Amino acid sequence: MTNIVEVENLRVKIPVSAGMLNPVRGLTFEIKKGETLCVVGESGSGKSLSAFSLMKLLPKIADISADKMQFMGRDILKMSPSELQNMRGNRMAMIFQEPMTALNPSYTIGNQLVEVLRRHQNVSVKEATERAIYLLEKVGITAAASRLSQYPHQLSGGLRQRVVIAMALMCGPDLIIADEPTTALDVTIQAQILHLLKELQEEFEMAILLITHDLGVVARMADRVAVMYAGEFVETGTAEQVFKQPVHPYTQGLLSCIPVPGKTARGSRLGSIPGIVPSLIGDMRGCAFRSRCPHANGACHNNVPLEKWSDDHFKRCVLDDTALTSIAKEAIA
């Protein structure tokens, strides 16, 4: 399968009053056609900044660099502003976390849907409107035609998120970046939206980069998973590998945070990882997780590369294989 996205050593730097913030520190990943890559990690780990980097939609003060950052074979970092504009919303579209504020309050749903298709394709208002109605029906909105003349404030959060999804689909993109698309919604709506995304992905053969901090969402959606901690991937692999054989102590910590029906005793304390994320200001050496890691030793002060663990399964940890294997066994026991 062909890679739609290829990124090597993506870094984001933001000057802040206390020094240089390094919220994204050398990410390498690829996304294949039609697959879902889930990036999972705690709040502040740099997930959103990484996602926005792909669209080059960061605040001006942020500095993005990468050895390679290609989308459909083209170098994103070398694109001119107008080439970027032609790509955004067209080949690469975005779904946001906050459906309540993602739509412009002054324009109708129809206006905002039609606008994006007309921006990228030479179609009439009528054709664009037909496409909008078709997609609104696709995302499960009833009486789609009459919704076109409504304003965002007239729709509920769940409906608005469906509109945002329809908007992302207007040009039939190759990649959808969804930054916590269900975090702001209640649980039943969450499940519906995720189900919908999966269906649409198959129908339109889109790749999805799904950002989340919810492992339940990862389990439902992911083909491959990248676990992010303090601006780095600490473990990557297929969903199966990461869920069944988590090797990195951080992944194990995350997994122990979710209760498993039948396994977790009623009333027992949920696992949580003690400690806080280290400051990302200035240079940093060694494993970022060491201060919170139950298995840390002196070697953790050295820089650790992302190393192969098994096929497609990578980890960033200095512990040797036997140690990790035994920890891994312990974790899934």
Partner 1 sequence: MLIYSLKRLLLAILVAITVSFISFSLLFLAGDPAIAMAGEGATDQDIENIRQLYGFDKPVLVQYFDWLLRAIGGNLGESFYFKTPVVHLIAEHMPVTMTLGAMGITFALSLAVPLGVLAAIRPNSIIDRIALLISVSGQALPSFWFALVLVVIFTVTLGWLPASGSDTWLHFLMPTVVLSYYAAPAFMRLTRAGMLDVLGSDYIRTARAKGLTTKSVFLKHALRNAIIPVVSLAAVQFGFMLGGSVIVESIFALNGAGSLAWESIGRNDFPTVQGLILVFALIYIVLTFLADVLNAWLDPKIRIG
- Site residues for ligand ATP, 173-232, by CB under 6 A, read 213
Number of chain residues interacting with partner 1 (CB under 8 A): 30
Q: Which of 240, 251, 250 is nearest to 312 (CA)?
A: 240
Separation CA 176–CA 254 (nearest Å): 26
- DSSP readout, 205-270? T-EEEEEES-HHHHHHH-SEEEEEETTEEEEEEEHHHHHHS--SHHHHHHHTTS--TTTSPTTPPP
Binding region for ligand ATP (CB under 6 A) out of 40-48, 99-107, 163-171, 189-197:
40-48
Q: Rule CB under 8 A: is residue 147 a binding residue for partner 1? A: no
Which lies closer to ligand ATP via its Cβ, residue 43 or residue 82? Answer: 43
Which lies closer to ligand ATP via its Cβ, residue 43 or residue 268? Answer: 43
Binder of residue 136, out of partner 1, ligand ATP, Mg ion, none (CB less than 5 to 8 A by kind): none
Which lies closer to Mg ion via its Cβ, residue 62 or residue 304? Answer: 62
State how beta strands 175-179 and 92-95 pair: parallel
Binder of residue 267, out of ligand ATP, Mg ion, partner 1, none (CB less than 5 to 8 A by kind): none
| Contact pattern from residue 41 through residue 80 relative to Mg ion, giving x for each residue in contact according to CB under 5 A and a dash for the rest | -------x--------------------------------
Which lies closer to ligand ATP via its Cβ, residue 120 or residue 213? Answer: 213
The per-residue b/e assignment along 136-167, b for 16 or more CB within 10 angstroms, e otherwise, is bebbbbeebeebbeeebeebeebbbbbbbbbb
The structure tokens listed for 109 are 């749903």
Q: Rule CB under 6 A: is residue 22 a binding residue for ligand ATP? A: no
- Amino acid in the structure at residue 128: A
Burial, 266: exposed, middle or buried (Cβ in 10 Å; 0-12, 13-18, 19+)? exposed
Question: Positive or negative CA dihedral for 224, 30, 292, 323?
Answer: positive
Query: 120 — phi, psi (to 5°)?
Result: -105, -20
Separation CA 195–CA 40 (nearest Å): 19
Give the one residue of 17, 43, 80, 106 binding partner 1; rule: CB under 8 A. Answer: 106
- Site residues for partner 1, 166-185, by CB under 8 A, read 167
* Residue 6: C-alpha distances to residues 70, 75, 151, 291 (Å): 5, 9, 38, 32
Which lies closer to partner 1 via its Cβ, residue 114 or residue 287? Answer: 114
- DSSP readout, 260-308? -TTTSPTTPPPP---S-PPP-BS---S-TTGGG-TT--GGGGS----EE
Q: Rule CB under 6 A: is residue 290 a binding residue for ligand ATP? A: no
Nearest residue to ligand ATP, using CB?
A: 48
Give the one residue of 11, 32, 119, 292 binding partner 1; rule: CB under 8 A. Answer: 119
Separation CA 37–CA 50 (nearest Å): 13
Binder of residue 102, out of Mg ion, ligand ATP, partner 1, none (CB less than 5 to 8 A by kind): partner 1
Give the one residue of 10, 116, 239, 254 binding partner 1; rule: CB under 8 A. Answer: 116
Give the one residue of 48, 182, 241, 245 binding ligand ATP; rule: CB under 6 A. Answer: 48
In angstroms, give the least distance from the CB of 55 to ligand ATP: 13
Q: Rule CB under 8 A: is residue 197 a binding residue for partner 1? A: no
SS3 29: strand
Give the one residue of 4, 23, 248, 318 binding ligand ATP; rule: CB under 6 A. Answer: 23
Query: 267 CB contacts (<8 Å, ≥6 apart)?
Result: none
Which residues bind to partner 1, rule: CB under 8 A? 55, 57, 81, 84-90, 93-94, 96, 98, 101-107, 115-116, 119-120, 151, 153-154, 164, 167
Which residues bind to ligand ATP, rule: CB under 6 A? 14, 16, 21, 23, 41, 43-49, 59, 213
